[in-house]
Structure 1
Amino acid sequence: MDIRDVPEAHVDRALELVYLVFHDNPGEEKRKHHRELVLGCERIGAYDGDTLVGFLAAHRFRLSVPGGDLPCPGLTFVSVAPTHRRRGVLSAMIAELFRRGTRHGRPLAALWASEDAIYGRFGFGPATEGLTVEIDSRRPLALRLPPDERPLRLIDPADAPAAVGPYFDATRAARAGRIARDAERWTGEWLVDEDEEDDELSPPRIVALGAEGEPLAGYAVYRTKSGGDDPARPGLVRVDELEADDAAGAAALWRYLCSLDLTGTVRAWGRPVDDPLLLFAADRDQVRVTGRYPGLWVRLVDVPAALTGRAWAAPVDLVLAVEDEHLPANTGRFRLTADPASRACAPTGDAPDLSFAVRDLAACYLGGTEVGALVRAGLVTEHTEGAAARLDAALRTALAPGTGDEF
């Protein structure tokens, strides 16, 4: 196989391969949207002669990490022709992406896994988790605290980059695992009129907390769907994003979403595992968690650069032994010396305190998976008593990592 860039002239061929692999036959508008999306990505292809038999695209993302923000390609449209499976095509394309990451100073990569079993073997680990929350809104939302009573107002989605973009940026910095959005991503991907998964949903709506001219105190992005004439099938409010300064602000937004006329169910996908709604809801029969699942899968392409690219919550001085069959430079022992004010990581010959497969170190990297839990699961080896607890204390973040920004 010849692994090389996919030129613009071959993008339609690449998308036809994607549709073949994912058994899809999208309409003209969706094809146009996919083409524009892929043109903005880094594109790697596998060619058998002149035939494109493998393809992956990588968004040029930046990812929030504890105390910082790092370049992080986001893999998507990963496809291998059914005639060329089990011939190393996927491995070769991902290896090329990793080589480019090392060369260009991109210490991370990330994806949403279509099949979990595939990507662990390439060193990706599930670094965030998400919840699906469903609210019975046929009656007022029962709350244990008074909601913020500042006025609510609707914002035109076309104004979102300027109106709520800076607020999103601030909340993104506070929670690891979130992808930066420029104006094009806001309007071209996040707030498109027709939802890609359900064309019965309304265009996106944005409700903001705070009077015009005052600082924003929170916002929610949502879509609605009529229940029709069947009274047993209430209308739906699908919440795509909700951010607020505090619990009272979040309560005001949830109360609004649960009070929309002609609806009876509020469903939110991709909520963080520490969503305060689950604590301030007065009736957990009304507010139910209906799903919990791995979210963003992260790969450490350069272990020392990744570890020094994030902040640490407590002093730590440990030797980590890392095994990485795909990137030999990551295999070895690294002394991590860090505290809230500084961080360093360098190869060492000293005896290890902990031994990791690179996928398990990636799962812990954003603070979403406890090292101690992996030790108890037999996936990480603790050579020095208490080392896992010390590393967990240093990895800890005020907010659980999470994102609902699928790609």
Structure 2
Amino acid sequence: MVDIREVPEADIDRAQELAYLVFHDRPEPEGRRRHHALLTRCARLGAYDGAALVGFMAAHDFRLSVPGGELGCPGLTFVSVAPTHRRRGVLTALMDEQLRRAASAGSPLVALWASEAAIYGRFGYGAATQGLTIEIDSGRPLALRIAPDPRPLRLVAPEDALAVIGPRHEVARTERAGRPSRSTQRWNEEWLCEQDEEDDELGPPRIIVLGDPGEPVAGYVLFRTKPEDDAAGPGRTPGLVRVDELEADTPAVAAALWDCVASLDLTGRVRAWGRPADDPLLHFAADRDQVRVTAQFPALWLRLVDVRAALTARGWAAPVEVVLDLSDVRRPANAGRFRLKAGPAGAAWEPARADPDLTLDVRELAACYLGGTLMTELVAAGLVTERTPGAAAALDAALRTDVLPHTADEF
């Protein structure tokens, strides 16, 4: 029987070693230092078998952008169970206690990135956003169907970047749901750090912004580069531009930024991981053989801790009134039959006795919550039962957002 309790700072090194064991990781000293600093700022929960730490999870103190605003949303990370204690209920005990603590703290949502997609559905998490990897063959000029914004581009030093691009990033969070808040430490230790944690061959962060001097930036691109692989012989790999983030006020601004990174000297490939599924580049690129989607994957996984609080706090695009028969084996307070009456003026969530229009699990409701998954698709997949024809489509119309939810903030 394991004991679930808070992990003191004195045990952070032990927690790191457990995570490195589970994830088959061997970070360099600088990476270990960054992880330690990060964990000191996180809430920490451990499973102890006697004196041994056999399970661990940490939670960032995030606020998550949702349609119409933002909500408190712990971001789980470093979730790990010792190989000696797998299939003994350790992860379940950690997850249940974490949900209990989130509810007690008034956080209606919890989020994570899944190392294995098969794990977290059973705890009520649904894949709420999708990410794309986009690759550009930049060995030739980028062909575009629209004219790039002609305003000037300029480089910004990493030490000045937060003051320059931070405000534009905050605007982007209001424009797309699903984006966690970023602290100054997170900016500096993950996005703007000199050495990339995943690939030591990549150079330091480079930041290019677009806009007239003295005006707020209209867009920015944050990227790193890797030189050509000379050791590969005649078929050597051309230099790489890895785009970590690109934000733009308009398609023309985005076109100017993509054109800029695709025209960097001594490079022949641009790779952008974690782009939104509705990225305008995929439409204004003139040659889709040159601009290709090479991967699509579930990104942010969301858990509704308090369904009523979550639904009544978000904005709604259209009126809807449906009765949902909702199951939630881990949070019984969420389970039951409820009437959702929502619209642009607000929402109400109350117990109901009427026959349900839709029967579903909290996992499916979480997947749809940000507007990134259609309820009608889940009905078609057999995961939601539609008892009143048209109910799923009506709920989709109410949940709809102008742009798809998206984040590249992996944690």
Q: Given the two structures, how large is their TM-score scaled by the length of structure 2?
A: 0.97
Residue 202 of structure 1 corresponds to which residue in structure 2?
A: 203
* Distance in 2 between residues matched to 1:286 and 1:84, nearest whole Å: 48
* Structure-1 separation of matches of 2:151 and 2:234: 33
Counterpart in 1 of 2:192? 191
SS in structure 1 at match of 2:189: helix
Q: Is the 8 A contact 1:161 1:182 kept in 2?
A: no
Q: Is the 8 A contact 1:160 1:186 kept in 2?
A: no
Q: Kindly state the Cα deviation for residue 70 of structure 1 after the two structures are TM-superposed.
A: 0.6
Amino acid at match of 2:221: A
- Who is 1:386 aligned against? 390
Of 226-235 and 37-46, deviating more is 226-235
Identity of aligned pairs, percent?
66
Distance across 2 between alignment mates of 1:330 and 1:285 = 47
Residue 112 of structure 2 aligns with which residue? 111
Aligned to 2:50: 49
SS at match of 1:263: coil
Shift of 1:211: 2.7
Paired residue type of 2:92? S
Letter in 2 for 1:365: Y
Number of paired residues? 407
User: In angstroms, what is the RMSD of aligned CA positions?
Assistant: 1.0
Q: Aligned to 2:350, what secondary structure does the other structure show?
A: strand
> Which residue matches 1:70?
71
Match of 1:80 in 2: 81
Question: What is the match of residue 164 of structure 1?
Answer: 165
Matched, 1:319 2:320: no
1:359-380: CA deviation from partner (whole Å, max 9, x where unpaired): 1111111111110011111100
Q: Which amino acid aligns with 1:23?
A: H
**More deviation, 228-237/31-40:** 228-237
- Offset of residue 102 of structure 1: 1.0
Query: 2:375 aligns to what?
Result: 371
After TM superposition, give the deviation of residue 103 of structure 1 in Å.
0.8
| Structure 1 residue aligned with 2:136 | 135
Equivalent residue number for residue 266 of structure 1 = 270
Match of 2:225 in 1: 224
Contact 1:17 1:53 in 2 (8 A): yes
Alignment pair present for 1:287 and 2:287: no
Gaps of 5+ in 2: none
CA distance in 2, matches of 1:12, 1:175: 36
Q: Quote the Cα distance in structure 2 between the aligned partners of 1:240 and 1:22.
A: 23
Please tell me whether residue 343 in structure 1 is matched to residue 367 in structure 2: no
- How far is the alpha carbon of 1:162 from its aligned partner? 1.3
- What is the alpha-carbon distance in structure 2 between the residues aligned to residue 304 and residue 88 of structure 1? 29
Deviation, 1:183, is 1.5
Once the two structures are TM-superposed, the CA of residue 51 in structure 1 deviates from its matched residue by: 1.1
Q: Given that residues 323 and 331 in structure 1 are in contact (C-alpha distance below 8 angstroms), is that contact kept between their aligned partners in structure 2?
A: yes
Alignment of 1:224-263 (within 5 A): 224-229=225-230, 230=233, 232=235, 233-263=237-267
1:271 deviates by 0.5
Question: What secondary structure sits across from 2:135 in the alignment?
Answer: strand
> 2:147 and 2:83 mapped to 1: Cα distance?
57
Equivalent in 347, 353, 359 of residue 355 of structure 1 = 359
Once the two structures are TM-superposed, the CA of residue 401 in structure 1 deviates from its matched residue by 0.8
Is the counterpart of residue 120 in structure 1 residue 159 in structure 2? no
Q: Secondary structure at the match of 1:317?
A: strand
Deviations 1:371-400 (A, max 9, x none): 001111110011111100100000100001
The amino acid across from 1:149 in the alignment is P
Counterpart CA distance in 1 for 2:404 and 2:397 is: 14
Taking structure 1 as the reference length, what is the TM-score of the superposition?
0.98
- Tell me if structure 2 keeps the 8 A contact 1:153–1:211: no
Cross-structure match for 1:332: 336
From the superposition, tell whether residues 187 and 231 of structure 1 become closer, same or farther in structure 2 (CA, over 3 Å).
farther
Structure 1 counterpart of 2:402, from 371, 392, 398? 398
- SS of 1:117's partner is coil
Find the aligned partners of 1:33 and 1:231 in 2 and give their Cα distance: 39
What are the Cα deviations for residues 12-35 of structure 1, in whole angstroms up to 9, with x where unaligned? Answer: 111111111112222211111110
Tell me, what secondary structure is at the counterpart of 1:392?
A: helix
* Distance in structure 2 (CA, Å) of the matches to 1:231 and 1:339: 61
CA distance in 2, matches of 1:84, 1:182: 35
C-alpha distance in structure 2 between counterparts of 1:156 and 1:268, whole Å:
21
Partners of 1:355 and 1:281 in 2: CA distance: 41
Shift of 1:231: 6.0
* One-letter code aligned to 1:358: V
Compute the displacement of 1:348 (Å): 2.1
Distance (Å, rounded) in 2 between the aligned partners of 1:267 and 1:308 = 39
**1:350 shift after superposition:** 2.3
1:234 and 1:189 map into 2 onto residues whose CA distance is 26
User: Is 2:282 the partner of 1:278?
Assistant: yes
| Contact residue 111 and residue 297 of structure 1 kept, 8 A | yes
